[in-house]
Chains A and B, each alone.
Chain A
């Protein structure tokens, strides 16, 4: 009997798979749409699928004029095509100490933010591999701990989930620096999905994300938070011991709740604003909520925005 804590299958919730399994077509479309957005070739070549018309402007290549439309409308339009290319998905998972916090469940069955991030990474990886695209993995804390370059081999998914399970969550966070590193490392345009709580210096995170965007990578940011972090429901006098050497605080949580939530909200707003500014999709996920709902919701929204 395998250890539940180290069994990758815990990340393959049948419900989750069922939910997103039906999305694989959509996903592909979405991914492909995404790819179309990201990887759209500046030159539309042959053997590509027709995508849409564009009005002719002087200087365009007349080889792509749709003469049938001209015949019908006396207006000149160009055809545009989608290029089928391989999607490179990189799951960048924060494995710092703060990601190890989890209040959902208890004991061996506890569910931390890292578990949630890992589940998301596993689901997305599974999706991409099924559509015969490539998926890679980067695990980091205060530095890049593991990197697996994208591959669409059948064993890649297992490798990814296995690696995710092995990493201890003991170190502090260095998100910005790692993203910088990753931006330099990636040779191919990729879809980079960052799974973190982003409890780090905002400027450095911003710099890292911008660097990725500069490199023409598509970035999706998933901020994973624990329900306790979101609601702060503590009532009795509590000694909060900060992870990642953040000190400790003895206080009456009720009196501090509003202030804490205001700070968290301000941080998240700033993060969201920053992501929007560099065209990064930002989603906040609650590790206490069902993954399938959150993930399918995100994919559906994204698909709608692509169309």
Chain B
């Protein structure tokens, strides 16, 4: 038979210094006792005999009493030091269980991203968040008042510690839990865990710390930023020595359908052409039925009305063509009809700036004789064919308003009045002009750069390239001499084409493949350049393995885009024979439409983000922002601090983070804007959950107590460390009382 011994009293000290101080003070009564024996009064005494007899009879008793008093006083000091040093009873000590009073920090990380609004139909708890609150409050109610403190973190982005520091008032902690609101934002689990880590670091090292994670364990919340969460998990395991408990509220088999995105197919929506609105409808988990959807424009259902849609986890865009748009800002609404348990993301809004006419400024570097002789004339005609024979091509139906100027007149123009600026063979570009163009593009404009005879690499590299208006430096002008084979575009309508050439797919006789190019500017475009190669030149004859030079590139700069066209737009320059081909105007329109933006991105905001109005928006009165219930949200001026922003250092109006989705209205005095605020469905709609093993793995495979979704049994907290300090202090007080009684009894406090 093997006997094992449990320690009767095992404990650790929070402040060992105080204990040693108490131990040192034990010497004080002894020193006082010794000093007292050295300091005495001398009294001549007549009745000595009686004194001696009394001493003889009571010597032993007196000695015992003195030693007992001395021992009691020493013990009082020692135990007082022990009590103040806060001994914490360890797990398996029965005496510690009996005598100890619990102490420690309890941190609750409660998920309240919009996925926690999932209606799980628990008794007494409609949603996951309701159940999370019930569990949190049940745990708080079992804590020891006065000894245990509580901190609460909500995990919706941005994560928040809802009381500024851990509180000992458990009732207040419960009230704080009650006040947790369902957020419409996404879950930032990594951010919430980082907050929990910071809270633990601020507490004394020796104190007990326990972490409770209460959430629905969606894979998108736990596996996005997986490495970060894993690292945090290991740090948390080291800090929360009393344990980490995870409550998994996610139901196996929970499913959801949502509209995760709604956007126009083209970057620019005009009133001249039908707009394709694309709704990305997703289904996560075992969806029993397919949803139906309706698209509305400014609240009015669009044809074909309610329609069946497919909803899968992969992208499944639904395209609806909308006709008859009028210029102005409109709100499209995609609404799902579904039995899913998370209706928050069944509706999505999109504010679209429908443009009536696109103003294009064409800057010519060469002026020719007559209206058609200049370097931009043909482009002008291609974009704005009014005055030419009417065409059935809807893309050239006069939605573009062009203005053609010489490069000498450039300085008089306000670029922000235009949506697109075309440089057609402009020779010397000034530094200020290049800077101006960069600003224009960054603010959302489009610049199209066409080559021509006046163009020099030195100038363009020193200005346009420097201001990121070229994707690469110009290297060499390729000129095909008379006896050489002219260059051609690398175009095959039967091969996959760039999106901007989509209309030419499978189109024969466009001229794109047959156009001859006699001259173009070669560009050194890095292999990893983000610029999009819309069209390339085929290599020179006899050099099939040569890399293809870019003919047309598109790259983004800020909110706008830049189109580089390696050859000339001027047919008179004899650089290419492409212009007369019917594909040319179509291509120009496609480039224009494909790169020009509606500049309505700022009108579409995610929940828990601020509405920031670009400084380019003109105000004639103080801005007023209201939601659908006419509740006003204050707008304040702030300085743009983002160094990468084109508006860096400028003032702009911004609101506080908008907590609820919906359609808001913004009044600037002269204009009214529609603002669409959406839930971050792309981050939060996927409600498929992780099981306990996967959660543990996400947290770095640390030791975690995995619980289900119900209120835990009371035994859960039995392993908390107990503070024996109070028990020891009671003993100290009892000893003090005993010392007083003994001193009185032994005659040490006799008074007349």
> Chain A interface (Cβ within 8 Å of chain B)?
97-101, 113, 197, 199, 225-226, 229, 231, 233-244, 246-247, 249-252, 254-260, 262-264, 267
Contacts and interface: CB of A to CB of B under 8 A. Distances in A.
B73 to A, nearest CB: 15
B46 A250 contact: no
Contact of B52 (A244, A246, A254): A246
B542 interface: no
B44 A237 contact: no
- Sorted from nearest, which 7 A-B pairs have the closest CB atoms? A242-B48, A259-B54, A246-B48, A98-B46, A101-B46, A263-B50, A254-B747
B45 interface: yes
Interface in B40-83: 40-55, 57-58, 62, 65-66
Could you say which interface size class chain B belongs to? 20 to 34
B255 to A, nearest CB: 86
A260 B66 CA distance: 18
Given A252-B748, A255-B62, A256-B51, A229 B37 contact: no
B388 interface: no
Contact of B53 (A199, A229, A243, A263): A263
21 contacts: A98-B46, A98-B47, A113-B46, A199-B49, A233-B752, A234-B41, A234-B43, A235-B750, A237-B40, A237-B41, A238-B40, A242-B45, A242-B51, A246-B45, A252-B748, A255-B746, A256-B55, A257-B747, A259-B58, A260-B47, A263-B53
B720 to A, nearest CB: 48
B47 A259 contact: no
B51 A255 contact: no
A294 to B, nearest CB: 19
A238 B37 CA distance: 9
B746 A254 contact: yes
Given A249-B55, A254-B747, A260-B54, A199 B46 contact: yes
Given A239-B42, A255-B62, A199 B47 contact: yes
Given A238-B40, A242-B45, 6 more contacts: A233-B750, A234-B41, A241-B42, A242-B49, A242-B51, A249-B48
A237 B45 contact: no
Most chain A beta carbons < 10 A, residue from B50, B53, B65: B50
A243 B752 contact: no
B37 A256 contact: no
B470 to A, nearest CB: 103
B48 A243 contact: yes
A240 B51 contact: yes
A249 B62 CA distance: 14
B392 interface: no
A255 B66 contact: yes
A239 B48 CA distance: 11
Contacts of B747: 254-255, 257-258
B55 A259 contact: yes
Contacts of B65: 255
Most chain A beta carbons < 10 A, residue from B48, B53, B752: B48
B39 interface: yes
Contacts of B66: 252, 255
A235 B752 CA distance: 11
Contacts of B748: 252, 254-255
B55 A251 contact: yes
A97 B47 CA distance: 11
A270 B665 CA distance: 113
Contacts of A226: 46
A256 B55 CA distance: 7
Contact of A250 (B40, B47, B49): B40
A79 B37 CA distance: 73
B42 to A, nearest CB: 5
A139 to B, nearest CB: 18
B36 interface: yes
Contacts of A264: 47, 50
Contact of A238 (B41, B47, B53, B55): B41
Contacts of B43: 234, 238-241
Contacts of B39: 237
A199 B50 CA distance: 9
Contacts of A244: 46, 48
A240 B43 CA distance: 5
Contacts of A252: 62, 66, 748
A229 B62 contact: no
A237 B46 contact: no
A175 B633 CA distance: 112
Most chain A beta carbons < 10 A, residue from B43, B51, B746: B51
A98 B44 CA distance: 10
Contacts of B750: 233, 235, 254, 257
B278 to A, nearest CB: 100
A259 B57 contact: yes
A98 B43 CA distance: 13
Nearest to B62: A255
B560 to A, nearest CB: 98
Contact of B51 (A225, A235, A249): A249
B58 to A, nearest CB: 5
Contacts of A260: 47, 50-51, 54
A236 B43 CA distance: 11
A122 B412 CA distance: 139
